[in-house]
Amino acid sequence: MAQQLGLVVHPTRSLDTVLESTAAWAHAHGANVGQVRIPGLTRQVADPVDPADCEILLSLGGDGTALHALRAGAPAKRPVLGIACGSVGVLTSVTGDHVAWALDQFAEGRWRARAVPGLAIASSDGPVEVVINDMTLIRDGPGQVVIAITVDDVLYVRVAGDGVVVATALGSSAYSMAAGGPILAPGVEGMVVTPLAPHGGSAPPLVTGRSSTLRLEVEKTYSRVRYDVDGRSMPRPGDVLTLHYEPEYAVLVELSDQDSRLAGLRQRGLVRDGPRVLVRDRRVE
């Protein structure tokens, strides 16, 4: 049974009901509730607690909140249970009105630890960060950016356009998919590299192996480049970056009867059947 719960909360969404349900469950099971503080987020709902002292971290929000929780829990390999509060994402297991049920499932061992990979980013000065969804190099102003993409010391292509997205399998259904990149199914390990609006040439999205080294070199042009990681901007780390795949960076709670990630994409409407199929189904009905 969990003795210490660590909350990671969305900065603005209404959480009163789910916080009350969590507190009631903790009181009934003799557990303590604390809050894991995230740099830059000032909302306070409970006393501070170190992620390493928690049996489980509860992410109360959407996918962005779950990413914060996963990063916070990664050093101590603490599992994260995603609770959807106002939106349903691929990293959340249940909605807020089922938080007590989800905690029962965890306490009874009716869950499994799902390894969440990361992308370790380094510059010439050393390690920069590990991201869970994706890293984006994108132009920040007029003019195109030029980026050379190299895999295992072999030049793949140099693209001139809006930039490039590098994603994990988990992140492949986010910005990368929106830009026309492939979705990597569960079980596929590696990185997907998706150029953004390349101007001319031929630069199809590329999927690398789990042991590959990806190198991105930004050529000096008149256009500025913004570096975004997991949906937030970071200071410019340099014009040459290398990325490696980390297979077990963080841990996500997957409940015993939880739908698969592909099924979740259908439920959210991100993947839909073709109009011809839907019209045929309506005729049959």
**Catalytic residue IDs:** 63
Could you tell me which residues come within 8 angstroms of residue 236 by beta carbon, excluding any fewer than 6 positions away? 225, 227
- Residue 265 is encoded by which pair of tokens? 């994409």
Cα end-to-end distance, the chain, whole Å: 48
d(CA 87, CA 70): 18
CA 125 from centroid of its chain's CA atoms = 25
d(CA 255, CA 26): 19
Q: State how far the Cα of 8 lies from the Cα of 19, in Å rounded to an integer.
A: 11
Which ranges constitute the DSSP H helices of 75-178? 99-107, 175-178
List all residues 6 or more positions away from 175 whose beta carbon is below 8 Å from its beta carbon. 133, 134, 136, 165, 167
